[in-house]
Amino acid sequence: MLNGKVVEPSVHFFEGVEKLLEIWFEDGGNDDCDLRKIPRDDWVTLLKAVKCEIISFSQNDAIDAYVLSESSMFVSKKRWILKTCGSTTLLKSLKPLLELVPNYGFREITDLFYSRKNFARPELQAFPHRGFCEEVEYLDTVFEEGRSYCLGSINRECWYLYTFSKYKKEVSRPRKLDNAEPDQTIEILMQNLDNDVMGMFSKEKFNTGAEVTKATGIDKLLPQMEIDDFLFEPCGYSMNGIAPKGEYMTIHITPESSFSYVSFESNVSMNNYAELINRVVKTFKPGKFVINIFANKASPAYATIKELEVEYAEKTSWKRSNMQYCSFPLYNLLFAQYCQCP
Amino acid sequence: MLNGKVVEPSVHFFEGVEKLLEIWFEDGGNDDCDLRKIPRDDWVTLLKAVKCEIISFSQNDAIDAYVLSESSMFVSKKRWILKTCGSTTLLKSLKPLLELVPNYGFREITDLFYSRKNFARPELQAFPHRGFCEEVEYLDTVFEEGRSYCLGSINRECWYLYTFSKYKKEVSRPRKLDNAEPDQTIEILMQNLDNDVMGMFSKEKFNTGAEVTKATGIDKLLPQMEIDDFLFEPCGYSMNGIAPKGEYMTIHITPESSFSYVSFESNVSMNNYAELINRVVKTFKPGKFVINIFANKASPAYATIKELEVEYAEKTSWKRSNMQYCSFPLYNLLFAQYCQCP
């Protein structure tokens, strides 16, 4: 009872679906420019605006990786990635970040990607995330020439993308391409997962992240990765993996059966992602999943992502219910939705 | 002055952007089923709900073609196409049509496509067209399993599609495919057109549609077509072309320079649409245009539409600013945006 009103017990829910922001800065070939010089205190302050905290840290010569109370942050010399779930306010990091980076030599963003799947319960989100339109309006206050897209079915399941590129004007044959370093990202966003698998990601079953990483085979997905993992109380799991050349992988698991969600993300370069997708899907056993693969023109994945996806559907029992392929100025993007065959 | 209020003179505007509805019905191989048996009076009544009228008619053994006060209608044995511009209420034709067709032997829709480009002035549209969300809600009252898509940039220029397929469940390898007849549609939607070209589509320059069709070279775009054309007073132009095997083409022109718009649509089958696109673009000289090409798996265009588009951008001075390619259960769809190179 509160103020004479009966308060209904709220149904337990956690929004596993993450908001994902990836930003590339122009370093002008200057070796002094380095986002990793930003002190931890500044990250802590920035993350407060997002409503999350650092809970673990790992690094190598190429990349700093943070496990957060809600997902992950990766900091390289000139690339910054923030991925947060729940009702965090990820986009509130953008303006503080843009105030911070000039102190470390960066004046300009070359590419920005903001993306997320449709939320399971959008009504629980806070400003500026109460709908993709609101997110786009917020981003448009920072970028004059951003573009927003919706892949998949707007009125069913979909994946939203807002992208800004400094080189947008050199549309079909941008000159900067030859110098660009290869870049690619694969995300596998899984739902309706197997209860037995999800039951593993619980303090009832294991004491530490490391135990569950090994028991579930997460350590075998990309064996070259050095793993920093965390098992939440009473359940839930996050991991970051990093490799010497700046490759990363990150997995976040919301295991509760009524809203189970697992995300896998990595920037590993491959000609063919079919085997990796297969390993991930066999590990987590989703009922349905979406894949998105970005690759720039310097990436080995650039030309082949279309064919790979066709191949994946043909070689497995998964049914592809939708596939969209987009050609942006500097990147190709593949989006595909799969569900289990009956 | 009206009721004591000053009425501001409204700025002249006409929404050239059309709403387009294409519906295929299941005839179960029954030769008696034929949409062309629907009497003209019933079409007149149905079109009243849409707020447009028949102004010209042509036919051959395969297809009936109507020029309307706002665009066109094509009726074949089991396919119905309605395309209307301005502030017409196209979707209000749907329920009357579904009440009408059982009298002519049709019980079921096999495929439906509702599409349009973003309106230049969406605030001038009437229910149920006051936004794509409203259109989707309206269609969802008829179809349980419809899917809606937005191609291009949601916050800039885009093209909306709502699609329903009876065979949606047989997702990646539908069985019905082998029996399907080839089907393909190309649309070229042009804006910011050349003033000299647009000036031709006026009663000041010509007396009849036939004169302007010849003078502008529209008769050369697809020479096999028998043309029914109409020149509006004071300006504006519509034409339907039909060919013996049921091929059609249709062009609608809003020539006023501040909101010029030309649409070209045809179901002609081609392995490569690049030359046709070139002829259309050279005829009308747009500043920008979007293309969408649908092709089902039985169509010669099915596998090749991707490559064709790449080729088109490479062989001309047009810059492709966006390209999206979608694989639906029975159809492939290519969407591309072009602007003139500086």
**Do B85 and B262 touch, CB atoms closer than 8 A?**
no
Nearest residue of chain A to residue B339 (CA atoms):
A171
Task: Kindly list the catalytic residues of B.
Answer: 71, 85, 238, 252
**Do B334 and B291 touch, CB atoms closer than 8 A?**
yes
B178 Cα to chain A: minimum distance (Å): 18
Most confident of A313-322, B58-67, B313-322: B58-67
Q: pLDDT value at position B320? A: 78
Q: pLDDT value at position A339? A: 86
Q: pLDDT value at position A144? A: 87
Q: pLDDT value at position A179? A: 53
Domain range summary for chain A, segments of one domain joined by +: 9-340
Q: Does A62 touch chain B (CB under 8 A)?
A: no
Q: Which of B133, B147, B161 to mutate to test the interface with A (most CBs of A within 10 A)?
A: B147
CATH of A9-340, picked from 3.60.90.10, 3.90.1660.10, 3.30.230.10, 3.30.70.100, is 3.60.90.10
Asked if B321 lies within 8 A of A171 by C-beta distance, the reply is yes
For B180-200, the pLDDT digits (tens) are 788 999 999 999 999 999 999
Q: pLDDT value at position B177? A: 46
pLDDT band at A320 (very low <50, low <70, confident <90, very high): confident
Q: pLDDT value at position A309? A: 56
Q: pLDDT value at position B310? A: 55
Indicate whether A288 pLDDT > 60. yes
Indicate whether A5 pLDDT > 60. no
A256 is in an annotated binding site: yes
Least confident of A238-247, A267-276, B233-242, B303-312: B303-312
What is the C-alpha to C-alpha distance for residues A228 and A187, in angstroms, rounded to an integer?
A: 19
**Do B290 and B335 touch, CB atoms closer than 8 A?**
yes
Q: How many CB atoms lie within 10 A of CB B244?
A: 11
What is the C-alpha to C-alpha distance for residues B304 and A147, in angstroms, rounded to an integer?
A: 28
Look at the block and give the residue holding tokens 């790992």: A58
Indicate whether A272 pLDDT > 90. no
Indicate whether B339 pLDDT > 90. no
Nearest residue of chain B to residue A147 (CA atoms):
B153
Nearest to B335 by CA among B274, B303, B294: B294
Q: pLDDT value at position B321? A: 79
Q: Which of B322, B328, B339, B340 to mutate to test the interface with A (most CBs of A within 10 A)?
A: B322
From residue A114, alpha-carbon distances to A109, A242, A290, B240, B284 in Å are 13, 22, 17, 44, 38
Most confident of A215-224, A291-300, B325-334: A215-224
pLDDT band at A172 (very low <50, low <70, confident <90, very high): very low
B226 Cα to chain A: minimum distance (Å): 37
Asked if A320 lies within 8 A of B327 by C-beta distance, the reply is yes
* List of E strands, chain A: 19-25, 54-59, 64-68, 71-75, 79-84, 109-117, 147-152, 158-165, 184-191, 226-231, 237-242, 248-254, 261-266, 288-296, 318-327, 331-340
Average pLDDT over residues A172-178: 45
Q: Does B148 touch chain A (CB under 8 A)?
A: yes
Q: Does A172 touch chain B (CB under 8 A)?
A: yes
Average pLDDT over residues B284-290: 96
Average pLDDT over residues B86-107: 96
Q: How many CB atoms lie within 10 A of CB B7?
A: 8
Average pLDDT over residues B110-116: 96
Residues of A in contact with B148 (CB under 8 A): 153-156
Tell me the binding residues of B for substrate: 14, 70, 232, 256
Q: pLDDT value at position A328? A: 80
Nearest residue of chain A to residue B169 (CA atoms):
A321
Instruction: Give the residue with greater pLDDT, A274 vs A148.
Output: A148
A145 is in an annotated binding site: no
Most confident of A63-72, B267-276, B314-323: A63-72
Q: pLDDT value at position A314? A: 64
From residue B226, alpha-carbon distances to A108, B217, B219, B222 in Å are 57, 14, 9, 9
Q: Which of B148, B312, B316 to mutate to test the interface with A (most CBs of A within 10 A)?
A: B148
For residue A271, give both structure tokens.
């000609």
Asked if B323 lies within 8 A of A321 by C-beta distance, the reply is no
Asked if B153 lies within 8 A of A148 by C-beta distance, the reply is yes
Indicate whether A2 pLDDT > 60. no
Average pLDDT, chain B: 90
R_g of chain A, CA atoms, integer Å? 20
pLDDT band at A85 (very low <50, low <70, confident <90, very high): very high
**Residue A85 annotated as catalytic:** yes
Widest CA span in chain B: 68
Helix B305-315 to helix B274-284 angle (10° resolution) is: 50
Q: Does B272 touch chain A (CB under 8 A)?
A: no
Q: Does A121 touch chain B (CB under 8 A)?
A: no
For residue A40, give both structure tokens.
């931890």
Nearest residue of chain A to residue B312 (CA atoms):
A172
Asked if A150 lies within 8 A of B150 by C-beta distance, the reply is yes
Least confident of A236-245, A323-332, B210-219: A323-332
Residues of B in contact with A155 (CB under 8 A): 136, 140, 146-148
Beta pairing partners, A281: none
Residues of A in contact with B306 (CB under 8 A): 306
pTM: 0.89
Q: How many CB pairs under 8 A join A and B?
A: 81
Residues of A in contact with B150 (CB under 8 A): 149-150, 154
Residues of B in contact with A319 (CB under 8 A): 171-172
Q: Does A278 touch chain B (CB under 8 A)?
A: no
Indicate whether A289 pLDDT > 90. yes
A1 Cα to chain B: minimum distance (Å): 39
For B55-72, the pLDDT digits (tens) are 999 999 999 999 999 999
Average pLDDT over residues A208-233: 98
Q: What is the DSSP letter of A125?
A: -
Asked if A153 lies within 8 A of B150 by C-beta distance, the reply is no
For B122-179, the pLDDT digits (tens) are 999 999 999 999 999 999 999 988 999 999 998 789 999 999 988 764 444 444 444 5
Q: pLDDT value at position B308? A: 57
Asked if A172 lies within 8 A of B148 by C-beta distance, the reply is no
Asked if B147 lies within 8 A of A140 by C-beta distance, the reply is no
Share of chain B above pLDDT 70, in %: 89
Nearest residue of chain A to residue B137 (CA atoms):
A155
Average pLDDT over residues A263-270: 96
pLDDT band at A170 (very low <50, low <70, confident <90, very high): very low
For residue A75, give both structure tokens.
């900091």
Asked if A154 lies within 8 A of B150 by C-beta distance, the reply is yes
Q: pLDDT value at position A126? A: 98
Q: Which of B115, B134, B139, B155 to mutate to test the interface with A (most CBs of A within 10 A)?
A: B155
Q: pLDDT value at position A181? A: 82
pLDDT band at B319 (very low <50, low <70, confident <90, very high): confident
Asked if B323 lies within 8 A of A319 by C-beta distance, the reply is no
For residue B32, give both structure tokens.
């008696």
Say what the alpha-carbon torsion angle A136, A141, A142, A147 is, to the nearest 10 degrees. Answer: 40
Asked if B155 lies within 8 A of A171 by C-beta distance, the reply is no
Residues of B in contact with A146 (CB under 8 A): 155
Q: Does A317 touch chain B (CB under 8 A)?
A: no
Asked if A155 lies within 8 A of B172 by C-beta distance, the reply is no
A144 is in an annotated binding site: no
Would you put residue A214 in left (φ > 0), alpha (ψ -120 to 50) or beta? alpha
Average pLDDT, chain A: 90
Q: pLDDT value at position A1? A: 33
Asked if A150 lies within 8 A of B147 by C-beta distance, the reply is no
Instruction: Name the residue facing B326 among A132, A171, A323 (closest C-beta).
Output: A323
Least confident of A57-66, A292-301, B167-176: B167-176
Indicate whether A71 pLDDT > 90. yes
